Structure 1
Amino acid sequence: METTKKKGLRPWRELSGLRKVLRVLWIFVLAVLAATALLFGYLTATEFKPAAKENLGVTSGTDAINKVDQGKELSILTWNIGYGALGDNADFFMDGGKSVKTADEKRVMENMKGISEEVSAIDPDFAFFQEVDRDSHRSSGIDEARLIRNGRSNGDSTFAYNFRVKFIPYPVPPIGKVNSGILTSSDYKIQNSVRRQLYCPFKWPVSLGNLKRCLMVDRVKINGSSKELVLINLHLEAYDSGTGKIKQTKMLRDVMDKERAKGNYVIAGGDFNQCFSEADVTAFKQYPGTWKPGVLDYSQFKGYRLLMDNSDPSCRSLDRAFKGADPDKFQYYSIDGFIVSDNVTVNSVKTQNLSFKNSDHNPVVMKFVLN
Structure 2
Amino acid sequence: MKKFFKIIGILLLLCIVVVLGYFIYVYATYYRVADHQQLSISQFATTKTLKTDTQYRISSANIGFGAYSDDYSFFMDGGKYSRARSKEEVKTNVQGEIATIQSLKPDFAMFQEVDVDGTRSYHVNEYQMLEVGLKDYTSVFAQNYDSPYLLYPLNSPHGKNKAGMATFSDVQSTMATRRSLPIETGFSKFMDLDRCYIKQVFEVDNGKRFIVYNVHLSAYTTKGDTATKQLKMLFTDMDQEVQKGSYVIAGGDFNKDLLKDSYAIFKQGDKNVGDWAKPIDTSLMPSSLELVAPFDKTNPVPSCRNADRPYSKDDFVLTVDGFIVSKNVQVKEAKVVDAKFKHSDHNPVYLDFSLNQ
Normalised-by-shorter TM-score class = over 0.9
* 1:86–1:103 CA contact under 8 A, matched in 2: no
* 1:202–1:210 CA contact under 8 A, matched in 2: no
Matched, 1:305 2:293: no
Match of residue 97 from structure 1: 79
Distance 1:87 1:244 in 2: 30
Provide the aligned length of Structure 1 versus Structure 2: 347
Instruction: Give the TM-score normalised by the residue count of structure 2.
Output: 0.93
Task: Return the letter of the residue paired with 1:115.
Answer: E
Match of residue 164 from structure 2: 181
Match of residue 341 from structure 2: 356
Q: Residues 284-324 of structure 1: CA distance to partner in whole angstroms, max 9, x if unpaired?
A: 336155232111122222332201124200001111101xx
* Structure 2 unaligned residues grouped into runs of 5+: none
Match of residue 11 from structure 2: 28
* 2:258–2:321 CA contact under 8 A, matched in 1: no
Task: Return the letter of the residue paired with 1:170.
Answer: Y
Distance 2:261 2:42 in 1: 36
Distance 1:289 1:279 in 2: 12
Q: How many angstroms does 1:278 deviate by?
A: 5.6
* 2:197–2:215 CA contact under 8 A, matched in 1: yes
* 1:128–1:183 CA contact under 8 A, matched in 2: yes
Task: Return the letter of the residue paired with 2:307.
Answer: L
2:20 to 32, 37, 42: 37
Q: Residues 170-223 of structure 1: CA distance to partner in whole angstroms, max 9, x if unpaired?
A: 1222100111111111111111111111111231x3324532101110001111
* 1:128–1:270 CA contact under 8 A, matched in 2: yes
**Structure-to-structure mapping, 1:200-239, within 5 angstroms:** 200-203=183-186, 205-225=187-207, 227-239=208-220
Distance 1:65 1:367 in 2: 22
Q: How many angstroms does 1:67 deviate by?
A: 2.6
Matched, 1:266 2:219: no
Distance 1:115 1:54 in 2: 28
Matched, 1:193 2:176: yes
* 1:347–1:369 CA contact under 8 A, matched in 2: yes
Task: Return the letter of the residue paired with 1:236.
Answer: L
Task: Return the letter of the residue paired with 2:281.
Answer: D
**Secondary structure of 1:249's match?**
helix
Task: Return the letter of the residue paired with 2:213.
Answer: I
**Secondary structure of 1:150's match?**
helix
Instruction: Say if 1:278 and 1:46 are closer, same or farther in 2 by CA, change over 3 A.
Output: closer
Match of residue 11 from structure 1: none
2:328 to 343, 355, 367: 343
Distance 1:240 1:64 in 2: 42
Match of residue 352 from structure 2: 367
**Secondary structure of 1:35's match?**
helix
2:274 to 259, 278, 291: 291
Task: Return the letter of the residue paired with 1:269.
Answer: G
Matched, 1:117 2:75: no
Distance 2:107 2:85 in 1: 30
* Structure 1 unaligned residues grouped into runs of 5+: 1-16
Task: Return the letter of the residue paired with 1:231.
Answer: V
Structure with greater Cα Rg: 1
Q: How many angstroms does 1:280 deviate by?
A: 6.2
Instruction: Say if 1:195 and 1:299 are closer, same or farther in 2 by CA, change over 3 A.
Output: same
Distance 2:264 2:227 in 1: 22
Task: Return the letter of the residue paired with 1:191.
Answer: T
Instruction: Say if 1:31 and 1:295 are closer, same or farther in 2 by CA, change over 3 A.
Output: same
Instruction: Give the TM-score normalised by the residue count of structure 1.
Output: 0.89
